[in-house]
Amino acid sequence: MPMVITLVVVVGLMTAVMLERQSAQRQTVDRQLRWYQEHHGRLGLQEAIEAWIKSLPSNAELHALLPADGHFLDLKLRGGTTASVTLYERQNAVLTDLSAVDDTMADAAAAIASAVAQLYGPDGPPDGLRTVGPPQLSTHTTSREVIELAVQAVTGDRGVAKGFAGSIVADRENNGGISTSGAVGTAIADSGADTELRATLSSLFTVRPTLYYAVVELRTSAYGDPSARYGGYFSIATDRSLASTERSAFLTWENLGVE
């Protein structure tokens, strides 16, 4: 009888170990499958967004084409899922990672990042901070406060900063929220900046932003919260006459989660 009991216990333990091992293997396979599906789904969504960008005329200004809420595309996916794509122009956020900034802009970019950190702390201003993209700030979307802070950080002249920021804001407000092509030049003249500062101010701001942030929400029905959310920084080429394969590229991609 003791031998039988011992044998039963051993068999039971071996069975438990085998079942546990099978369960662990199944979980590993499930994780790999989910990663595979998410990886290729992400690539497919990125390709769809890039295809839309590439389909635009070479002289099209993307920031002027986006609706106010940024929502520009819905994709019907296999299985009844809808991917809702929203694109935001993001050169209103201040660049904090200066490792890729060239020497001509390094000092100015560092001064702006330092001034923003001192005033707003680690969380940054309401429009946020970023670690990718060019150091230039967009004249279309950067807040008056950040424009003024950036100019003062670089020039050390509060009067110039206020005059420049006021001119930029007035220009875009008079043009339906989109800066005119000569906005920076006009702002420099209105600010009263001396000749030495004019080239510096001209290099700090752009009327042709190239950095955007795409948010993709997946829904299985027209109502309710999304089942998944993803996002990433997206860059478009300044020279839109480039070959279509060179016009755009994702710089980051992350799972934003759902609440």
Q: What is the per-residue pLDDT across 29-43, written as a single tens digit (0 to 9) for each?
A: 445 545 444 554 567
* Mean per-residue pLDDT, 1-30: 59
> What predicted TM-score, i.e. pTM, was given to this entire model?
0.79
Give the N- to C-terminal CA distance of the chain in Å, as an integer.
59
- For the chain, domains (ranges, CATH) are 31-89+210-255 (3.30.1300), 95-206 (no CATH)
Identify the pLDDT of residue 36: 46
Q: Cite the beta strand spans of 43-197 per DSSP E.
A: 71-76, 82-89, 94-95, 129-130, 137-138
pLDDT at position 17 over 70: no
What is the reported pLDDT for 225? Answer: 83
Over pLDDT 90: what percentage of the chain? 46
Give yes or no for a contact between 212 and 62, defined as CB atoms under 8 angstroms apart.
yes
pLDDT score at 175: 94
Q: What are the angstrom distances between the C-alpha of 184 and each of 139, 163, 169, 204, 209?
A: 8, 12, 11, 9, 13
- At residue 60, the pLDDT reads 74
**Cβ count within 10 A of residue 128:** 13
The percentage of the chain sitting over the pLDDT mark of 70, rounded to a whole number, equals: 78
Tens digits of residue pLDDT in 191-249: 998 888 888 899 999 999 999 999 999 888 777 788 889 999 988 876 544 444 445 68
CA distances from 67 to 15, 129, 142, 177 (A): 61, 23, 17, 12
Average pLDDT of the segment spanning 43-51? 76
Q: 43-47, 84-88, 165-169: which has the minimum mean pLDDT? A: 43-47
Kindly state the tokens that stand for 222.
């027209």
